[in-house]
Amino acid sequence: MSTSPAKTPEKKHEGKHEGKVVAMSGDKLTTTCAQGKEHCHTVAKDAKVTCDGHPSKAADLKAGTPVRVTTHKDDKSIATAIDSGKPAPAASHKA
C-alpha cells in the first residue's frame, strides 16, 4: 500500500502576452514583449485574427502594430488568436 499523495494532473492554460509586431512572414509571427524579448510563433491555420475588434488576416499585421497573442495550451509556439490595434468598444446600454 502506497502512502504517497496522489498526483494532481497539471492544468494547462492558454498563454497570453502583449507586445508589438516585429515581422509577419507566411505563417511566422515575430513579436517583442514589454521586456524587449522577441517571441516567435507559428500562426495556426484556424487562428482568430482581429484588428481593432474586426475580423482580419495574419498577413495584414504590420511591424510596430500592438498585438495580444493567445497561444495553444500545449504548445506556446502556436498562436491560436491574435488581437491587434485597439479592442472593439464595449456596447453602451442606453435606457
**5-27 tens-digit pLDDT:** 444 444 455 788 899 999 999 99
Q: Measure the CA–CA gap between 24 and 43, rounded to whole angstroms.
A: 10
Q: Measure the CA–CA gap between 22 and 90, rounded to whole angstroms.
A: 29
Q: Measure the CA–CA gap between 49 and 71, rounded to whole angstroms.
A: 12
Would you state the pLDDT for residue 15?
Answer: 86
What's this model's pTM, rounded to 2 decimal places? 0.75
Which listed CATH number (3.90.650.10, 2.40.50.320, 3.40.50.1980, 3.30.70.920) goes with 15-84?
Answer: 2.40.50.320
- Give domain limits for the chain: 15-84
**33-57 tens-digit pLDDT:** 889 899 999 999 999 999 998 999 9
Average pLDDT along the chain: 83
- Which helix (H) or strand (E) is 28 found in, with range? strand 28-33
DSSP assignment letter at 62: -
Would you state the pLDDT for residue 4?
Answer: 47
